Amino acid sequence: MRILVTGKNGQLGRSIHKLVNTDNKIDNNQSSDDFIFVGREELDLSSESSINHYFDNNDKFDIIINCAAHTQVDKAEEEQELASQINHLAVKQLSSIANKQQAKLIHISTDYVFNGESDKPYIETDTPNPINVYGKTKLAGEKALQVVMPTNALIIRTSWVYSEYGNNFVSTMLRLGKERDELNVVSDQIGSPTYATDLAGAVLEIIKNKEFRESDQTTQIYHYSNEGELSWHEFAKEIFKIAKIDCKVNSIATQQYPTPAKRPKNTLMNKDKIAETFSVNIPDWKESINTCVSILKEQQ
Ligand SMILES: NC(=O)c1ccc[n+]([C@@H]2O[C@H](COP(=O)([O-])OP(=O)(O)OC[C@H]3O[C@@H](n4cnc5c(N)ncnc54)[C@H](OP(=O)(O)O)[C@@H]3O)[C@@H](O)[C@H]2O)c1
């Protein structure tokens, strides 16, 4: 199978790359899969013509994994058109190309499609109601995909993604923790972090699944994050504990830390569906943050 991965320089794209062989292959029982990783240089999702140009000039794919997105939640508030093009219109276009090529599409979405007002973990059929531009454009992408591809696609909503790559909450805390004696971190936003390597492993597990590979199935949404329930404040405290950084973490309320984009309060997601359907591994958040911090410390 030829498998295209977009967003090769992002956290998830790089994490998938890390898990495939150095020759960009994965050997399954049934066959060998070839991975092709592309970034915005090859496939610019902000441009309809760039997308057409890329697919017109490359052999057809069997699976497309869309890890690229406009992920800067605050910036999206002032870049509505760009965020909409990348998170909505490009997803619609990729869906129609996948349809034409009879390719499967795995698309990554977000917990921010929810308003965060629920007092229990969100399930896939709960009604989304995003409260910021990023969430609205990601939801529009989900909906467009479902209309264009009623079969053969899969949407994975994830949350609080971190990794050893690029800038994210963990790398920011490690940097700030060394520069400062104390930090203020919000304690009234609850969710579950997701180590990008764990999500990458889940995506590769899905790709190996015989039913997914071989039969036409109704398009489905799944939720995936690490196990556990915590606030950003608890997350920061644990990062400093593991990294042995002596920095006091003060608990503050969201309203004491105003941002251009509103953040949902509680975006815990129920992961039973993905666990039952694909038997994917869902490590506890403490286990995974330990792994990531160890890798980051080795790199220093
Ligand atoms: N990060 C989170 O906390 C989080 C939470 C929930 C859901 N998600 C979802 O999870 C998925 C993966 O996120 P991530 O954390 O890996 O994001 P990321 O690290 O920000 O990576 C996103 C990638 O998209 C690429 N991209 C942006 N604009 C593009 C364009 N016009 N054309 C082509 N590529 C473009 C970026 O390219 P450059 O490297 O060139 O900028 C980047 O490599 C996304 O769908 C995101 O919405 C993320």
| pLDDT per position as a tens digit, 75-99 | 999 999 999 999 999 999 999 999 9
181 Cα: distance to centroid of ligand 1 (angstroms): 32
Task: List Cβ<8 Å contacts ≥24 apart for 38-43.
Answer: 38/4, 38/5, 38/6, 38/8, 39/6, 39/7, 39/8, 39/9, 39/13, 39/68, 40/9, 40/68, 43/6, 43/68
8 Å CB contact between 152 and 217: yes
Condensed to tens digits (0 to 9), the pLDDT of residues 179-211 reads 999 999 999 999 999 999 999 999 999 999 999
Residue type, 13: G
CB-based burial, 152-179: b 16+ in 10 Å, e otherwise? bbbbbbbbbbbbbbeebbbbebbeebee
Whether pLDDT at 28 is above 80: no
pLDDT on residue 298: 85
Which of 8, 11, 107 should be mutated for ligand 1, with most atoms under 8 A from CB? 11
- Report the interhelical angle of 133-148 vs 90-101 (nearest 10°): 20
Whole-angstrom distance, CA of residue 33 vs CA of residue 247: 46
Q: Is the pLDDT of residue 19 over 90?
A: yes
**What is the distance between the alpha carbons of residues 62 and 79, in angstroms, rounded to a whole number?**
33
Average pLDDT over residues 96-115: 98
User: Atom 5 (ligand 1): residue with closest C-alpha?
Assistant: 159
Nearest to 286 by CA among 224, 204, 198: 198
Mean pLDDT of the chain: 96
- The C-alpha atoms of residue 300 and residue 298 are separated, in whole angstroms, by 6
pLDDT level of residue 30 (50, 70, 90 thresholds): low
Q: How far is the CA of 248 from the centre of ligand 1 (A)?
A: 31
User: What separation in Å is there between the alpha carbon of 67 and the centre of ligand 1?
Assistant: 6
* Marked catalytic residue, from 134, 162, 165, 222: 134
Provide φ and ψ at 161, rounded to 5°. -75, 135
Ligand 1, CB cutoff 6 Å, lining residues: 7, 9-13, 39-40, 43-46, 67-71, 86, 108, 110-111, 138, 158-161, 166
Cα–ligand 1 centroid distance for 246 (angstroms): 32
Whether the predicted model's global pTM rises above the 0.85 cut: yes
- Per the annotation, the verdict on 195 as an active-site residue is no
Query: What percent of the chain stands above pLDDT 70?
Result: 99
Q: What is the pLDDT of residue 29?
A: 61
- Across 42-66, average pLDDT: 97
Atom 24 (ligand 1) nearest CA: 68
